[in-house]
Amino acid sequence: MTEGLALIAPWLIAAGVGFFLTGALGLWRFPDAYARLHALTKADNLGLGLLCLGLACQAASLSAALKLLLVWGLVLVASSIGATLIASTALARGLRPVTRRGSRRGARRGARRGSRDS
């Protein structure tokens, strides 16, 4: 049982880091704040969850493993509710999302600006 857990732990950690890299890519390249919100709250939290799970497989005691999972739960609560707070406030302030039909010009301008700055 323990050997099996120790065997899958590196894979879980590697998958978690992969999700973090994906989230960073999204934060860098996505066209507007709403899309970047998705990149962060989904990819990064999944990455942290896999990483915590992988480390919990290697943890010395059950209480240490449970503490790792508590950290993940807290980040989930904070970032999921935080995402709704930021998104609804941004929408109420009139920050317009970039849509394919509505403002194609805006989307292309955003993409070009992003590539020039990168």
Partner 1 sequence: MSAFVIGFDLLLGAGLLWLAWQALFHPQPFAAVVHFMAFGLMMALAWVRLEALDIALAEAAIGAGVTGALLLAALGRLPDGPTPRRLLRAWQRPPVALALGSVLLLSLWLVWVAWQLPRPGLAAEVTAALPESGVRHPVTAVLLNLRALDTLLEVAVMLGAVWLVWSLGPELRPYAPVTALPGLPALTRLLHPLFLMVPAYLLWRGSHAPGGAFPAGAVLGAGGILLLLADGVPWMQRPEHQPLLRLLLAAGLVLFLGLALGGLLLTGTFFAIPLAIAGLAILAVEVAIALSIALMLMACYLFGEPGR
Partner 2 sequence: MPLPLAVMLLLSCAGVGLWRIWRGPSGADRMLGAEQLSTLAIAILLLLGAFLDQPALGDVALLFALLAAVAIATFVTRTWTRLHEAQRRPEEAEGD
Binding of partner 2 by 79 (CB under 8 A): yes
Give the residue among 67, 31, 42, 35 at the shortest CA–CA distance from 52: 67
List the structure tokens of 35.
């899309």
Contact mark string toward partner 1, 21..60, x via CB under 8 A: ----------------------------------------
* Cβ atoms 20, 43 nearer than 8 A: yes
Whether the CA torsion 16, 49, 55, 26 is positive or negative: it is positive
Site mask, partner 1, residues 82-111, x = CB under 8 A? x-xx--xx-xxx------------------
Query: Are 17 and 54 within 8 A, CB to CB?
Result: no
Answer for which of 70, 99, 104, 112 binds partner 2 (CB under 8 A) is: 70
Cβ contacts of residue 109 below 8 Å, gap of 6+? none
The verdict on 35 binding partner 2 (CB under 8 A) reads no
Interacting partner of 98 out of partner 2, partner 1, none (Cβ under 5 to 8 A depending on kind): partner 2
Should residue 110 be labelled a site residue for partner 2 when binding is judged by CB under 8 A? yes
Which lies closer to partner 1 via its Cβ, residue 4 or residue 94?
94
Radius of gyration over alpha carbons of the chain, in Å? 18
DSSP 8-state secondary structure symbol assigned to residue 99: -
Q: Which residues inside 57-86 make contact with partner 1, applying CB under 8 A?
A: 74, 77-78, 81-82, 84-85
